[in-house]
Structure 1
């Protein structure tokens, strides 16, 4: 008798949520998070438009590359080297996927242009904090603007329709 039949690898079915688009994935309970990211990139696709997910088909179906993902479950950012089991993720749990994008920032007061990698789930305030930490730019009392519209510091980049390659202005 085949030993794999007698001792099957325990698996768990999880839901994967990317900006409201839901997919289902069956993963070994012992899978490391990086392996879950690879499965997401290889097996799940989401309908999208230039503005983000399009939940009313048709749209272009795009996989999310593993190196561009951040996974979160119950408010925890899941670390690549840990396993589904180490987080005790139950069946039918929903894991959120944030994808990393490259955004251009034109800092008007300093006559500086930079590019940063951030997640769609990053808030505008967190983006400003990253600019301060990475480039030493004073961001107090400054606003981020996209297409002649000031963005709220509490808004996520994806809700503000910031996508890969978007150039934002930091003004103030």
Structure 2
């Protein structure tokens, strides 16, 4: 037996091979960019988006409940039932993590209110446009106010401090 042994022969041998084993899944190093900074996770591309959200909460400890997370890559929101592989997400990429927050908007008169669950990357003007489109509320020459601060139309909600449960007021714009 040993007389046939050639020490220069190269063997393609995997000591962990088992005929019933599946090949290891492809993984990717994903950077999640969110309002609190950036967090990195090595993850299987076969993972469903809902599973990615669970890992964000449990492994990265980003305090956004799974049902309040919104993931965006390549200009599209990722659907929970699909996998990273379904979106052809490449290795070492960045995914935007947004938090959905519940906000209440009172109209100037104060007797009518609307509640929205929207992601914190929404801009003030997008929120006003949504209010107009869904409820036919006149938004021309009006601003959203939070406390005593008038919010700039081009600002994202998280950038101006809008969090879960924030109350906003749609009021007349006064030119000084």
- TM more than 0.5: yes
**What TM-score results when the alignment is normalised by the length of structure 1?**
0.81
Asked which structure has the greater RCO (Cα within 8 Å, sep 6+), the reply is: 1
Task: Name the counterpart of 1:45.
Answer: 61
Larger radius of gyration: 2
Task: Name the counterpart of 1:57.
Answer: none
Aligned pairs for 1:71-82 (under 5 A) are: 71-82=71-82
Task: Name the counterpart of 1:151.
Answer: 151
Structure 1 position 144, deviation (Å): 0.5
**What TM-score results when the alignment is normalised by the length of structure 2?**
0.80
Task: Name the counterpart of 1:104.
Answer: 104
Structure with greater strand percent: 1
Q: RMSD of aligned C-alpha atoms?
A: 1.9
Task: Name the counterpart of 1:56.
Answer: none
Aligned equivalents of 2:161, 2:20: Cα separation in 1: 47
Secondary structure of 1:38 counterpart: helix
Aligned equivalents of 1:75, 1:136: Cα separation in 2: 28
Aligned equivalents of 2:154, 2:171: Cα separation in 1: 17
Are 1:27 and 2:9 matched, yes or no? Answer: no
Aligned pairs for 1:95-134 (under 5 A) are: 95-109=95-109, 111-134=111-134
Aligned equivalents of 2:20, 2:73: Cα separation in 1: 30
Q: Rate the CA distance shift 1:8–1:165 in 2: closer, same or farther, 3 A.
A: same
Aligned equivalents of 2:87, 2:115: Cα separation in 1: 33
Structure 2: gaps (5+ residues): 1-16
Aligned residues: 156
Aligned equivalents of 1:3, 1:39: Cα separation in 2: 31
Structure 1: gaps (5+ residues): 47-62
Task: Name the counterpart of 1:53.
Answer: none
Task: Name the counterpart of 1:16.
Answer: 32
